[in-house]
Each structure stands twice: as structure tokens, then as C-alpha cells.
Chain A
């Protein structure tokens, strides 16, 4: 697969951001129209409006789904803005929480739970936001692809001296434990991870028996 250049990534980000704005406007209209229907039905007497109760029960469900959609598009919009700058200050706790939201669906398909343990303090540093998201995402998907079915992927950021660390571990059964991290020359996730990590001047430590990956990034990147 051909690698995308910075301009192409920025282009995708801009288009996605614009479309999410439009979706949000459509959702706002749906929300208000369903609210108006509820207002009108509430003003009618039960005799003049057959099945009034059923309508009044159904309309809040539309609002709930609108709210769900707004949350999804808000997160997607936030993701699209990652490509605005190729070096930006990120706060790891918020950053990982956002990524977990975006990857929930992939985990759910494998019956895997994503658990996040935030650090006690804010962990801000300058990095390439897209590459950092890709690094963590590829660690998560590596475990998802090796799990038999079910389990827990835990993600825990921390600070260790002059390094920010992200500890990603998997509790659960893997297809072949002896092969875990021994496929680094063939597993696509690990190839991408190594590529991203080296471009970020970071490092990755793999621990097969513990089923864990530790990513290290300098707190002050040059």
C-alpha cells in the first residue's frame, strides 16, 4: 500500500471536518423537528390524537439516537482535526481516551474490552498527533488480531523521567502465545508501529509472556 503524504492526509482531514459539520446541522434539525412533533402531540387531547401515548414514547428515542450520532460525529470531527498540524501539543490522557472511543467498535467485534487507566497527572508533549494515534491503534489491533475471542486490552500512560510511556497490555487468550511478537517482520501492525515509533524518535518494548507493549516517547521532542 502506498504511503500518503502530508498534503493528502490534510485533505482527507479537511473534507471529513466539513462533512461532520454538515451532518451536525442535519442532526440539529432532526432534534428540533422531533421536539416540535412532541410539543404538538402533547398539546392535543388523547381523543383527538390516536396512539398519542405511543408517539410520546417513541419521540424521545429519536432524540436519544440523535444524541448518540452527535457524540459520534463530534469525535470524528475531533479526529479529522488531528491532521491540521503535523506537530502539536497533545495531552496523553485526553488523547488516549479519544482513541479508545474511536476503536471501541473494533474491540467489540472481538468481544474485547478496552480499559483505560489515566495517569495521575497531565502528560503534555509535542508530537505528530496522527502518528501517535497510529502507534497506539496498531498496538490495540495487534492484540485484537491475536486474541481468540474476548479479553481486556488495558492502556495506561505514565511519565518516567524524561519519557512519556504508554503501556498497552492484553489479558486473555491468544491464538499462539509462542508467536506473540515473534512475527514483527510480517505482522502489519508491528511494521507500521516500528515505522511510526522510529520517525517519532521513540522506542517500543515488547514482552511476550506479559502480553504487553510499552511505548516510550521523549517528553521534549526536538
Chain B
């Protein structure tokens, strides 16, 4: 379980820090970014095995990050986190090649099983 890294990206710092800590307790290496630019830099410099992206963020949002990853041919599975009324954005993300999407707030166990599914598909 600890041989892969997950990058979690959300502008809600408290939320993303806590999710990362809970994943670490369960033996999953988790890193965080709270904005799109930092996330892209982290992905380019040291690609994680899975990226969890919030769709709605100030500046570069989740869909845009996904598109840029695609342009750079970065084949990393992406799980999108969507809010109310953004199911359409989740679907858009799927068309752009996202592995899956979950509604916020999501159940941690469901997130973990999606992460594991994504890793198994690598």
C-alpha cells in the first residue's frame, strides 16, 4: 500500500491537509497542493501515481489541470472532486480522460477504493 504516492489538490487547506493525514494513517503516501499552479509544478517535477483534483478552484481549476496534463502527455490517473451542480463538470472531466469523479464531501473509504482502482489500472 505504501509504494505509491497520491497528490491531493484543493484550495480548502484544512480539508486537503486532513484528508492527506487520514490517508497517511492508512499507509498511503499523500502530498497536497492548494492551488493549480503548485499542483502542476509538483506533477511535472515528481509525478505521483494518482492525482485527486478539486474541479472548482481559484485560478487554474481541476479540468484545466487535467487538460494541461494531457497536453504534456502525463499519463497519471486523475480522480475529480466535484461540488453541487458540477456533475456536468465531472462528466466533462471524464471526456477529458479523468479516471473517475466523486461528489464532495466524499466518503474516505470510497476515495481510497477509487485510488486503489486507479493504481491497479496503471
Contact = CB atoms under 8 A, between A and B. Distances in A.
Interface of A: 17, 20-21, 24-25, 27-29, 31-33, 35-36, 39, 43, 66, 70, 73-74, 77-78, 81
Given A31-B105, A35-B108, A25 B15 contact: yes
A35 B22 contact: yes
Contacts of B25: 36, 39, 43
B56 A36 contact: no
Contacts of B19: 32
Given A27-B105, A39-B22, A33 B14 contact: yes
Contacts of B14: 29, 33
A77 B103 CA distance: 14
B105 A66 contact: yes
B18 A24 contact: no
A29 B22 contact: no
Nearest to A27: B105
Most buried by A among B25, B56, B84, B108: B84
B27 interface: no
Q: Assign chain B's interface to a size class.
A: 10 to 19
Interface of B: 12, 14-15, 18-19, 21-22, 25, 56, 83-85, 104-105, 108
A43 B84 CA distance: 34
Given A28-B12, A36-B21, A39-B22, A21 B84 contact: yes
11 contacts: A21-B56, A24-B104, A28-B104, A29-B15, A32-B15, A35-B22, A36-B18, A36-B22, A70-B105, A77-B84, A78-B84
A33 B56 contact: no
Given A32-B22, A35-B108, A70-B105, 5 more contacts: A20-B84, A25-B15, A29-B12, A31-B105, A32-B18
A177 B11 CA distance: 58
B103 to A, nearest CB: 9
Nearest to A77: B84
B69 to A, nearest CB: 24
A36 to B, nearest CB: 5
Given A25-B12, A25-B15, A39-B22, A32 B105 contact: yes
A35 B85 CA distance: 26
Contacts of A35: 18, 22, 108
Contacts of B56: 21
A77 B22 contact: no
B67 to A, nearest CB: 23
Contacts of B85: 17, 77-78, 81
Nearest to B18: A32
Nearest to B11: A25
Contacts of A27: 105
A177 B83 CA distance: 47
Contacts of B21: 36
